[in-house]
Amino acid sequence: MISPNLQDNCTPALDGENFFFEMGPIRPPSEGSDHSLLIRTTRNCSWNRCEFCGTYRGEKFSYRPVAEIKKDIEVARTLYEELQAVAARGGVREISSQAVRSLWAGNPRRYGESAGNLTLKWQNLHNVANWLHAGAKTVFLQDADALIMRTPDLLEVITYLRAAFPTVARVTAYARSQSCYRKSLEELSELRQAGLLRLHVGLESGCDAVLKRMKKGVSARKQVEGGQKVVAAGISLCEYLMPGLGGKDFSERHALDSAAVLTAINPAFIRLRSLALRRHSPLLAQSKEGLFTELSEDGVVAEIALLIANLHCHSYLVSDQMSNLLYGVEGQLPQDKEKILQVIDDYLQKPESERLAFRLRQRRRSFLAVYGSLPEPLEEKAELAWDALRRESPEARERVDAAIAALKEGFV
């Protein structure tokens, strides 16, 4: 139990039911594991029309008043100070799960049964504790496009945030290419000066036909202009590219045009996030109706090779998403290009039975990494596929594809 005088230190206006800060549903993997404090600056996605995306379907977009965001920062700061105080009293420098439990148990007014959304409050406490544990250095601004805010508002939030947490060295956010395009170089430079050091942008494709088909709401030209401005402002730019998004019909154009756009932007990072047909996404329904033909897994791998061979930029290429098949596709361009292409070639040159076994193993591993175990129907499908592979049955390919499709549907 924490000491009574710490309870007395709770900020009265923020205590009880109101003591929480909003959290959105997602963050980039590089801001994951709670290494970043999450501050929600807008709710959901203002665009919400991309055919492959189901993240914010049915959710209404709204701006959050700056005063409300500041109140969230205050809550996070109170937790930050209280956790440090609990740890100091225990004579330890690190924030432990014991400190989290003590703070929770010692504040019935704030964490008791009638104190509102306890799930969110528990997530808040864990986010701040893990962030503190990692050094409290980075903050990620949620949700889908923090850059859509008025520049003076965003500057006010970032300035307030950095004053509240002097340890913060980097503020990062998701942004749409369209919002990057709309901001002037001066505005982006001011944001950079204030502490916005990295933007994560879902480029997805540099091919106009694919962008239009997927209702991305931006052209390749605007992606280039917006991206170049971000880079010129000195903000580290991470562009997400979606292999497979052109399906069978546009695979080659998708790869070549995307390579041209990324080369023109020259972002610090390019992250591959292969197409996965997400629940609640229109593209999943279209695929089931035969209106979109997915590229095979090997087709996606070959498409990535075509993309990389045509990239002429100085970016760090990362493949850290579960939807990607090959994790070894990573390195600094241009010097690592041949090494990365070799990883892909090594896979594509394997006999088909080995590629099938590799794919099945990888997809199973990804599923287990998220859920810990396989539900019985999926386990059965995977077993049937292994059995067909062992017997070198002519049905092996069909069985592996069916098992992988079921696994993917299970975790997207």
Site residues for ligand SF4 per CB under 6 A: 45, 47-50, 53, 55-56, 144, 176, 202
Kind of pairing between the strands at 316-318 and 331-332: antiparallel
Q: Could you give the residue ranges of the DSSP H alpha helices within 174-293?
A: 177-182, 185-194, 208-213, 220-232, 251-265, 282-288
Kind of pairing between the strands at 196-204 and 170-175: parallel
Nearer to ligand SF4, 48 or 123 (CB): 48
Nearer to ligand SF4, 49 or 390 (CB): 49
Nearer to ligand SF4, 60 or 93 (CB): 60
Please count the other Cβ atoms lying within 10 Å of the Cβ belonging to residue 405. Answer: 14
DSSP-derived letter for residue 328 is: T
Nearer to ligand SF4, 214 or 262 (CB): 214
Cβ of residue 258: shortest distance to ligand SF4, in angstroms? 16
Cβ of residue 174: shortest distance to ligand SF4, in angstroms? 7
Cβ of residue 411: shortest distance to ligand SF4, in angstroms? 18
**DSSP per residue, 331-374:** EETTTTHHHHHHHHHHHHTS-HHHHHHHHHHHHHHHHHHHHSS-
Nearer to ligand SF4, 202 or 247 (CB): 202
Q: How remote is the C-alpha of 316 from its chain's centroid? A: 17
Asked if the peptide bond before residue 334 counts as cis, ω within 30 degrees of 0, the response is: yes
Cβ of residue 164: shortest distance to ligand SF4, in angstroms? 28
H helices, E strands: number in the chain: 17, 10
Structure tokens that stand for 130 in this block: 């893990």
Cβ of residue 266: shortest distance to ligand SF4, in angstroms? 22
Cβ of residue 363: shortest distance to ligand SF4, in angstroms? 23
Nearer to ligand SF4, 192 or 216 (CB): 216
* Distance (Å, whole) CA 239 – CA 170: 18
